[in-house]
């Protein structure tokens, strides 16, 4: 994963923190909680982290997989662009180890409610992850 190349290709300046965030997320299979990013990237000012996460989100590089108990979990996007955001896959949180992962299962759920117009549907599954199941 060449974060610099990807940034350039999509018209963003290559900066240290952008490369670092993308590489940190790419190095993990799971979505990472903000607090973990904060710790791992503490060499950068936290305001910069904050603003960079906003930009990378806006530009379709990353998305918030889950927000729970005041903790936000971030993951790389697979197919988003600045103009097209598409996160209609399932998010899973393990109740044991608190890891969060994107399950790349297309969310085909289609709700229809009288009088309201639904644009997007988010599905969050909770349970026990494979690692925790093995550790039983």
Contact set with Mn ion (CB under 5 A): 65, 75, 102
Binding region for DNA (CB under 7 A) out of 12-20, 75-83, 96-104, 106-114? 12-20
State the number of binding residues for a second copy (CB under 8 A).
30
| Residue 97, φ and ψ in degrees, nearest 5 | -100, 0
Q: What is the C-alpha separation between 103 and 80, in angstroms, rounded? A: 16
Distances (CA, A) of 124 to 15, 23, 105: 33, 25, 12
- Among residues 27, 97, 125, 135, which is the contact residue for a second copy, using CB under 8 A? 125
Q: What is the C-alpha separation between 62 and 55, in angstroms, rounded? A: 9
Residue located via tokens 């992962």: 101
Q: Return the number of the residue (41 or 92) whose C-beta is nearest Mn ion.
A: 92
Query: Where do contacts with a second copy occur on this chain (CB under 8 A)?
Result: 67-70, 90, 92, 94-95, 103, 105, 109, 111, 113, 115-130, 133
């Amino acid at each position: 994963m060449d974060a610099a190349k990807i940034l350039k290709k999509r018209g963003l300046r290559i900066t240290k923190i952008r490369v670092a965030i993308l590489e940190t997320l790419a190095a993990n299979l799971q979505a990472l909680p903000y607090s973990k990013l904060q710790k791992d990237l503490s060499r950068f000012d936290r305001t910069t982290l904050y603003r960079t996460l906003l930009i990378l989100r806006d530009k379709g590089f990353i998305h918030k997989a889950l927000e729970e108990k005041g903790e936000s979990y971030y993951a790389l996007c697979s197919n988003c662009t600045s103009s097209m955001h598409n996160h209609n896959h399932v998010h899973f949180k393990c109740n044991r180890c608190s890891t969060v992962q994107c399950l790349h299962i297309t969310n085909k759920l289609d709700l229809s409610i009288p009088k309201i117009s639904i644009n997007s549907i988010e599905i969050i599954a909770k349970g026990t992850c494979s690692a925790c199941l093995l550790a039983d």
